[in-house]
């Protein structure tokens, strides 16, 4: 597992200073996570993220100067390899899809996720996952409609029974670690299955796989 083999540099962008301090304290206790910076506004975040290139940025959307979505856009257009994981109170479609279209790989709603789950979500991002709160994952699946001419349903004929099971769990909001626990298999085995699924469905991300899975019939 990649996340267990190296340190993960994390930046936190959050205007609630109490919550920012709680997050920083929790994550700094993880042996694999290094907090590279904490910022309470978008302008400072953009400047330092572009220069420091952290692995993962935990970012709120409602910042006092520029929105988290604008931070993601600004950093992404400069070609930075940083992955953005949104952590916000907003659970409406506009904020959700604006963030995903800007380049966020995950979207977590505050209040529905524990601090420990946030730590797990960071590892999921590094391992190629797309962590989302359950209600958000379901909304993504229900909202998008895939062009069946571009994604023939016959691709699913190539999937094994286990691969179908993994997609079913993930489509219901389970992250890769939880899916492994439910199926009583190792996390590394789930990751291997996901790589095979991506190849068979001709997709590149977990979100794409979930959307195609939802629209297979």
SS (H, E, C) 123-192: HHHHCCCCCECHHHHHHHHHHCCCCCCCCCHHHHHHCCHHHHHHHHHHHCCCCHHHHHHHHCCCHHHHHH
Exposed/middle/buried for 114, CB within 10 Å: 0-12, 13-18, 19+?
exposed
The span from the CA of 211 to the CA of 166, in Å, is: 14
Please tell me the predicted confidence (pLDDT) of residue 14: 96
Q: Which residues belong to CATH 1.10.10.10 in the chain?
A: 148-214
Residue 70 CB-density burial (10 A; 0-12 exposed, 13-18 middle, 19+ buried)? middle
CATH (residue range 148-214): 1.10.10.10
pLDDT score, position 146: 43
**pLDDT value for 143:** 63
Its pTM stands at 0.67
- pLDDT number for residue 136: 80
Q: What residue spans in the chain does CATH classification 3.40.50.2300 cover?
A: 2-140
pLDDT in tens, the chain (217 residues): 445 556 899 999 999 999 999 999 989 998 889 999 999 999 999 999 999 999 999 999 999 999 999 999 999 887 788 999 999 999 888 888 888 888 888 899 988 778 888 988 999 888 877 888 877 877 676 665 444 444 444 567 788 889 888 888 888 878 888 888 899 998 888 888 888 888 888 877 777 787 777 776 5
3-state secondary structure of 216: coil
CA dist., res. 76 & res. 39, Å (int): 18
How many residues comprise the chain? 217
Q: Among the CATH numbers 1.10.3720.10, 2.40.70.10, 3.30.70.260, 3.40.50.2300, which is that of 2-140? A: 3.40.50.2300
């Amino acid at each position: 597992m990649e996340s267990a083999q190296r340190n993960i540099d994390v930046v936190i962008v959050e205007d609630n200073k109490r919550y920012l301090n709680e997050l920083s304290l929790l994550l700094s206790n993880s042996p694999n996570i290094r907090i590279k910076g904490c910022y309470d506004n978008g302008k400072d975040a953009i400047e330092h993220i572009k220069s420091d290139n952290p692995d993962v940025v935990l970012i709120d959307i409602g910042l006092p100067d520029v929105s988290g979505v604008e931070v993601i856009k600004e950093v992404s257009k400069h070609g930075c390899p940083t992955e953005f994981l949104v952590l916000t109170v907003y659970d409406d479609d506009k904020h959700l899809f604006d963030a995903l279209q800007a380049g966020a790989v995950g979207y977590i709603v505050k209040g529905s996720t524990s601090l420990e789950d946030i730590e797990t979500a960071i590892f999921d991002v590094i391992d190629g996952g797309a962590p989302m709160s359950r209600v958000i994952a379901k909304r993504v699946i229900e909202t998008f409609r895939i062009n069946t001419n571009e994604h023939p349903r016959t691709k699913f004929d190539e999937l094994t029974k286990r691969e179908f099971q993994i997609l079913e769990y993930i489509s219901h909001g389970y992250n890769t670690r939880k899916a492994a626990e439910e199926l009583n298999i190792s996390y590394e085995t789930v990751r291997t299955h996901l790589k095979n699924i991506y190849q068979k469905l001709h997709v590149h991300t977990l979100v794409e796989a979930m959307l195609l899975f939802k629209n297979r019939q």
